[in-house]
Amino acid sequence: MAPSFAQSAPLCYSLASVGGILEVGATAVLAVPDARKKEGKIMSHWKLQAALAGNVMMQLVGSLASNLFAPWFGPVSIVAPIYFSSTLIANILIFGILLGLECFTKNMRVGTYVIAVATVMLPIVGPGVQQEQQFDELVHHLHTGLWLGLLLTGMMITTAFLTLGITQYKEKIRIAILLVARSTSFTLNLTVSRAFILAPGHSFLLACIIIKVVSGAIYTYAIVVQSTTVEQNTFVPLNATIIILVNALTGVIVWEDWMVVESWLGYLCVFILLALGCDLLLSTPILNADNQEYGRIATEKLLRSQKRRQEFSSVDFTEDATFNDNDSDNDSEHGGGSVTTDLQSHFNAEPATPNIKMTNYGSLTPDEPSPPELEGILQ
């Protein structure tokens, strides 16, 4: 039988935070020699070896702290948000302030602060610790088996895609495959870590050990594939959001967090804040305004007008139209000429719809020139 540990929320939060900080530190100790090399300052061989050893050691300790030990003392659904928020905060402190290797935009800083505030609120309104849980009883529930089976199936299918290669797919499909692979493997890894201390039977214990090793390997392999197949500034915030949400669902479905949630409204609002914070971290936020000077409706009208003009300009008008006698007479009365010339002159003319600009009061003002950023959109 596996040992049983008394539940301690502060210890759970601390271990998850330490894991996130060490993850960033592991990256930093290798980033510094690389930055010095770009500046023309080559570090000695023993310093490079020490940096590599520090990277491996911090990754190992951080992984054990956040992925193995933290779920032993508190809810699985709390570990992931705390881990990722501590990673983001440490990223700004270490790379932005301490080392000065990266510049973080206002959106990135605000997004990180929003996530940090949401994470601070999460233990207050979210699920608390639960004593006397038995994994053998939990796993025999139908909904638990279905959810764990869904996670395992998603992990194995996406692993097959990653093994065969995903470079031939569109970027959105590559992102979706990686998101499923990383969220399912991370969630299963935390889940079986917690199962270790709940005295599972011998068969369940063996299954948990296998899943722990396999999910950890798949998660690491997905990170390697991610580094060369998708844009990191888009994928990383999306990945954090999806992993946090999948872990929250796992906490409710598998670990019965619904029994100990302090405030469902507060719990929901925290996850909305987490999603909004991650959106701010994107290079092009999903919820960003369409244009700083133009409202959404005016922008859409201008885009549709430009699209129609491009479609009309691509029409071939070289063939002469056939008219009956009555149409010919009518054309003669109006000055004659071919309809081809009339159509061409009409479609080549500037559109009658004036440019529309939003004033401070929300009204539409015609005949205002388009700003340079909107002209770039319309090209």
Output the pLDDT for position 336. 47
Average pLDDT estimate for 110-132:
86
% of the chain surpassing 90 pLDDT: 19
Is residue 113 pLDDT above 80, yes or no? Answer: yes
Output the pLDDT for position 355. 46
In the beta sheet, which residues pair with residue 358? 364
Is residue 313 pLDDT above 70, yes or no? Answer: no
Output the pLDDT for position 54. 86
324-346 pLDDT, tens digit per residue, is 445 444 444 444 444 444 444 54
Query: What one-character DSSP code corresponds to residue 98?
Result: I
Average pLDDT estimate for 104-113:
85
141-161 pLDDT, tens digit per residue, is 889 889 999 999 999 999 999
Other CB atoms closer than 10 Å to residue 362's CB: what's the count? 7
Q: How many residues does the chain have?
A: 379
For 207, the enclosing helix (H) or strand (E) is: helix 202-229
Q: Are 7 and 70 in contact (CB under 8 A)?
A: no
Average pLDDT estimate for 218-229:
84
Is residue 109 pLDDT above 80, yes or no? Answer: yes
Is residue 223 pLDDT above 90, yes or no? Answer: no
Output the pLDDT for position 146. 93
Q: Would the pTM of this model clear 0.75, i.e. be above it?
A: no
The pLDDT-based confidence of 281 (bands split at 50, 70, 90) is confident
Q: Are 337 and 331 in contact (CB under 8 A)?
A: yes
Smallest CA-to-CA distance from 78 within 122, 43, 115 is with 122
Output the pLDDT for position 283. 62
More confidently predicted of 198 and 336:
198
Q: Are 224 and 56 in contact (CB under 8 A)?
A: no
Output the pLDDT for position 212. 92
Average pLDDT estimate for 72-83:
89
Least confident of 163-172, 264-273, 324-333: 324-333
The rounded distance, in Å, linking the Cα atoms of 150 and 147 is 5
The pLDDT-based confidence of 59 (bands split at 50, 70, 90) is confident
Output the pLDDT for position 164. 92
CA–chain centroid gap for 279, Å, is 8
For 195, the enclosing helix (H) or strand (E) is: helix 171-195
The pLDDT mean for the chain works out to 77
